[in-house]
Structure 1
């Protein structure tokens, strides 16, 4: 081989290496874009779940308060005075 042939081989190797690196870089950019898209999607899903959880917590607090109020009301009624008596209640299957 002459010096000129070695330069051509070296030049071809450099071009091949450069082309391979460009393909790898493009593949990495594509993967990064895909991951960024999914990260945004997951962020939106988490935000929606946080809102739903907050709604459910408020509803749970409200239901707990109403149950306390009902319990206090039932507790305050005099069973001997014709008021509420748990044994007078029919079971739910009747």
Structure 2
């Protein structure tokens, strides 16, 4: 393909391409930061989920065995007249 553009037009196109490239690099950096932040949040949420599952499993086992740490005992109940 032969170009019939003048040197000034070529410079203008070149500057336009440089500008577009800079804009795309900026957004690529922005998206990269967002993905990294989401990955950190996901890791934290996965750890929290695992902890909650473990605690739920422990509570379920305690309820099944009948000695739950937070289970109310009849002797701990406040009489209705208090």
Please indicate the TM-score interval, normalised by the length of the shorter structure. Answer: 0.7 to 0.9
Question: Which protein is bigger by CA-based radius of gyration?
Answer: 1
Residues 59-93 of structure 1 deviation map (CA, whole Å, 9 limit, x = unaligned): 00000000000000000018xxxx88xxxxxxxxx
**Counterpart Cα distance in 2 of 1:62 and 1:21:** 61
- How many residues in Structure 1 have an aligned counterpart in Structure 2? 66
Q: What is the TM-score when the length of structure 2 is the normalising length?
A: 0.75
- Show structure 1 runs of 5+ residues with no match: 1-13, 85-94
Aligned-residue Cα RMSD (Å) equals: 1.9
Structure with more helix by fraction: 1
**Counterpart Cα distance in 2 of 1:77 and 1:39:** 56
Higher relative contact order (CA 8 A, sep 6+): 2
Q: What is the TM-score when the length of structure 1 is the normalising length?
A: 0.65
Match of 1:68 in 2: 57
List, as ranges, runs of 4+ consecutive aligned residues in structure 1 with deviation greater than 4 Å. Answer: none
